[in-house]
Every structure is written in C-alpha cells, then in structure tokens.
A and B are shown apart, each in its own frame.
Chain A
Amino acid sequence: DAKTTQPTSMDCAEGRAANLPCNHSTISGNEYVYWYRQIHSQGPQYIIHGLKNNETNEMASLIITEDRKSSTLILPHATLRDTAVYYCIVVNNNDMRFGAGTRLTVKP
C-alpha cells in the first residue's frame, strides 16, 4: 500500500472549517483514499473515502487532486466533539495500514 504523510497536529476554531491535508505521492491507479478518525481511545470511526472524484457525505468532504498525489479532508463546521486523531489511509485490495495521523484539536 502507498505510504501517506500527514501533519502531526493541527488546531481549528470551533465553528470554522477544518482542512486536513494528506500526501500520498506514490498512490497507484487502483488505490482508494480512506479517512478514519479516533476519538480518545475509542475504536476508529470511518469518515469518507474516494478514488478520483471529490466526495461528500454528512460528516465531511474529501477533495482529491487531479494527479491523486494528495487529498484534503474538510470538516465544514468543526465542533469540540471533532477533536480526534484523523488517519488518511491508502488502500488497494490489501489490509489497511494506519499511520500516525493528524491530531486535530478544536478550540472554543
């Protein structure tokens, strides 16, 4: 699976959009980009995934660049409950390999 690079930590003001970047420059054509988050020590929670096109669901939006070498997860109106570690993972048919993720802290 392709390796991903994410910032170690980010802060965001409550009510503002949180934009979490991820680099995956070695991604191959059949690999998907998945985002999960982990709040404190709970089990990771699926957020969104995509292949080429931008995706949106009730939780977030995923913007994938045209060359697919990077992506951005957007939480449109961050709340305090969005404070968590966010993992960007590139997956093909094999198992998911979690990196260190980005620790997002939403501040009042």
Chain B
Amino acid sequence: DSGVTQTPKHLITATGQRVTLRCSPRSGDLSVYWYQQSLDQGLQFLIQYYNGEERAKGNILERFSAQQFPDLHSELNLSSLELGDSALYFCASSGGTSGRARQYFGPGTRLTVT
C-alpha cells in the first residue's frame, strides 16, 4: 500500500461528458502528479502540483484541468470526453518539488468512455 488513494476505482461515461477524478496524497507529501496510461501510449505525464501551485506540465490536453486544494488532495477534471480518453489515470505523490523525488503511485482510476 503506497498511501496514495484514488477515487473512483472505475468510471464509465459517455462521449461529451465531464468527469472528476480525485487523489489523496500520502500524509505529508506536498507534490501530486497525474499520469495517463492508455494501451497505445504508455504512461504519460500530465501535470504536477506542489503545495497548491502548478509546478510542471506534460502532455495535458486543453480539455483537461487539475487543481490541488489546501488540504493537498487533488482533482483531475476531464471534459468533452472522447473515446480516446479511455485509459488508466494514475496519481502519484512525493515529498519534494522535483521529479527527482521518489514518487508513490496510487492504484489508479480506470476510465471508460463509450
């Protein structure tokens, strides 16, 4: 158990809809990272937040957004969903600001867009 929790575990929705994925980092970790893993793309870094502020951006689409709240939990919002957004979404946390810090991954949310 990494100490990182993600909800929901599974999500099925239709194209055009909007969903919110939630992540609670390990106790004391200030950084939260979001990753997308689809069958044909592998594990793709989306975005990082550190103590409420956006710290680094990866391959995140404009239809996606994220935020980190004062209690350090984070939410990833996916809107205008397309079939290609079906994937596993992982959240990770670390104690540091840089990608060099060891990251602890949650169990993931499996999103299916129909």
Count B interface residues, CB 8 Å: 25
Contact A44 B88 (CB under 8 A): no
On whether A95 and B4 interact (CB within 8 A), knowing A43-B108, A44-B90, A46-B104, the answer reads no
A96 CB–B CB distance under 8 Å:
yes
Interchain nearest-CB distance for B45 vs A (Å): 5
With known contacts A32-B100, A44-B105, A46-B102, A97–B45 Cβ distance under 8 A: yes
Q: Does A7 contact B (CB under 8 A)?
A: no
Q: Which residue of A lies closest to B48 (CB)?
A: A95
**25 A–B contacts, CB within 8 A, in A order:** A32-B100, A41-B110, A42-B107, A43-B2, A43-B4, A43-B106, A43-B107, A43-B108, A44-B43, A44-B90, A44-B92, A46-B103, A46-B104, A92-B98, A92-B100, A93-B99, A94-B99, A95-B99, A96-B99, A96-B103, A98-B35, A98-B43, A98-B44, A98-B45, A99-B42
CB-CB nearest in chain B for A41: B88
A26 at the binding interface (Cβ < 8 Å) = no
A63 to chain B, nearest CB (A): 20
Residues of A within 8 A of B4 (CB): 43
Taking chain B's interface residues, is the majority helix, strand, or loop, or is none over half, making it mixed?
strand
Q: A44-B92, A96-B45 are in contact. List 19 more A-B contacts (CB 8 A).
A: A32-B100, A38-B43, A43-B92, A43-B105, A43-B106, A43-B107, A44-B43, A45-B2, A46-B104, A49-B102, A91-B98, A91-B100, A92-B100, A93-B100, A94-B98, A95-B48, A98-B43, A98-B45, A99-B42
Smallest CB-CB A-B distances: 5 pairs: A43-B105, A98-B43, A95-B99, A93-B98, A95-B56
Interface members, chain A 6-50 (any B CB < 8 Å)? 32, 34, 38, 41-46, 49
Tell me the count of chain A residues lying within 8 A, CB to CB, of chain B: 22
User: Which of chain A's residues have a CB closer than 8 A to the CB of B56?
Assistant: 94-95
> A95 contacts which of B42, B45, B110 (Cβ < 8 Å)?
B45
Q: For A99, list chain B residues within 8 Å (CB).
A: 42
